[in-house]
């Protein structure tokens, strides 16, 4: 069994939380932060299971930038910053 190390971005939209895995371009949501993260993990697991059944799992992981190191599959990309920035909108 291999373990996939990936990123979960979570933000609040109204009364819901949206969770997103940028490496695999997979999203989910939930009513709480914990539910959104749990649902994202479930969707990723389903994607991995289905691509494994089709025989394209390693292709998906390679195309998404993952490499295997022992029993861990991870990407060399690391999030270093999330911050709000202000950009003036031009008046036309």
- What pLDDT does residue 31 have? 97
- What pLDDT does residue 89 have? 95
Chain length of the chain? 92
User: What is the mean pLDDT for each group of 10 consecutive residues in the chain (92 residues)?
Assistant: 92 95 96 97 97 96 93 88 92 91
Tokens 């990723």 label which residue?
44
Domains and CATH numbers, the chain: 3-75 (3.30.160)
- Burial class (CB within 10 angstroms; exposed 0-12, middle 13-18, buried 19+) of 41: middle
């Amino acid at each position: 069994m291999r373990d996939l190390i990936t990123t979960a971005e979570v933000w609040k939209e109204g009364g819901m939380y949206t969770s997103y895995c940028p490496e695999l371009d997979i999203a989910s949501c939930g009513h709480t932060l914990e539910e959104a993260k749990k649902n994202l993990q479930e969707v990723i697991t389903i994607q991995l299971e289905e691509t494994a059944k089709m025989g394209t799992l390693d292709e998906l992981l390679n195309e998404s930038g993952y490499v295997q190191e022992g029993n861990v599959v991870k990407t060399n990309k690391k999030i270093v910053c999330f911050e709000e920035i202000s950009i003036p909108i031009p008046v036309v």
